[in-house]
Amino acid sequence: MYDVRVLQYLSAMPYNTFMASVILETIPVGPFQSNVFILGDEETGKAVVIDPGDEVSRILEILKRHSLALELILLTHGHIDHVSGVKELKEATGAKVFLHREDIFLYEQVPTQASFFGITANDLVKIDTYLEDGMEIGEGDLRCRVIHTPGHTPGSVSFYFPFGIVFTGDTLFRWGVGRTDLWGSSHEELMASIKERLFQLDNKTKVYPGHGPETTIGAEKRNNPYVKNVGSGVMSITLDPMNEEN
């Protein structure tokens, strides 16, 4: 049903203004206030949900309010605060679940993550498709490109929608970057992902992070202190993505 193909060589997609027919709702959920994104195409009635971390009833209510049928559940990475609602949402909608292969070990360790953070783990459900760099997923206005952005986790990805939005998970925040003191993290890889992948996008591209407010690629190039000082040897701090002030 879904046309998933891997493109070997992707030319830069053009920047367009926000599509009039695309609905985007953001809800911060759960103890870490992780952002859940609900994207809907008003013309086709189809929807994509990114990182259903918790509070699935609220997600279902939004889908119902817009008369949207959920087709895809896209996961930026395998941390508990981004995946806890996957099973309930999949069972309620029949949507397919996508995660990068290199974060499967984290996904399978959700009970360990739960005890580390002192929270309760929900049951998991099988991943339907492994994400790969350059893969294109979805239909019409909701078609997006997968950008592998490792560092915060080995299998962290960003989802780029050619109408000018990128969902960066816990890789890039407004004025912050993802923490790299967790399982399989790498600060060097994180910085390379931001500078060599995300910062190649148009400056006007809107950035929707996994926690906290939105920003743009251009604003982060100018203002993000963790990225500006890369290479100077001055900054070695990582931010706690669970802290909203980041």
Which of 19, 52, 79, 127 contacts Zn ion by CB under 5 A? 79
- Asked if 241 interacts with Zn ion (CB under 5 A), we say yes
Closest distance to Zn ion from the beta carbon of 193 (Å): 13
- Asked if 100 interacts with Zn ion (CB under 5 A), we say no
Closest distance to Zn ion from the beta carbon of 23 (Å): 23
Closest distance to Zn ion from the beta carbon of 88 (Å): 19
Q: How many CB atoms lie within 10 A of CB 54?
A: 26
Q: For Zn ion, give the closer residue by CB, 89 or 142.
A: 89
Q: For Zn ion, give the closer residue by CB, 102 or 170.
A: 170
Q: For Zn ion, give the closer residue by CB, 85 or 210.
A: 210
Read off φ and ψ for residue 111, nearest 5 degrees. Answer: -60, -35
Which of 71, 81, 103, 220 contacts Zn ion by CB under 5 A? 81
Closest distance to Zn ion from the beta carbon of 84 (Å): 11
Residues facing 234 on adjacent strands? none
Closest distance to Zn ion from the beta carbon of 189 (Å): 14
**SS3 sequence of the chain:** CCCCEECCCCCCCCCCCCCCCEEEEEEEECCCCEEEEEEEECCCCEEEEECCCCCHHHHHHHHHHCCCEEEEEECCCCCHHHHCCHHHHHHHHCCEEEEEHHHHHHHHCHHHHHHHHCCCCCCCCCCCEEECCCEEECCHHHCEEEEECCCCCCCCEEEEECCCEEEEECCEECCEECCCCCCCCCHHHHHHHHHHHHHHCCCCCEEEECECCCEEHHHHHHHCHHHHCCCCCCCCCCCCCCCCCC
Token pair for 16: 């367009």
Total residues interacting with Zn ion, rule: CB under 5 A: 5
Pairing of strands 129-131, 96-100: parallel
Which of 150, 155, 210, 212 contacts Zn ion by CB under 5 A? 210
Burial class, 28, CB count within 10 angstroms (exposed 0-12 / middle 13-18 / buried 19+): middle
Closest distance to Zn ion from the beta carbon of 178 (Å): 6
Binding mask 155-194 for Zn ion (x = CB under 5 A): ---------------x------------------------
Closest distance to Zn ion from the beta carbon of 170 (Å): 4
- Asked if 85 interacts with Zn ion (CB under 5 A), we say no
Single out the segment in contact with Zn ion by CB under 5 A; choices: 72-80, 104-112, 142-150, 219-227: 72-80
Q: For Zn ion, give the closer residue by CB, 71 or 170.
A: 170
Q: For Zn ion, give the closer residue by CB, 81 or 141.
A: 81
> Which residues form the interface with Zn ion (CB under 5 A)?
79, 81, 170, 210, 241
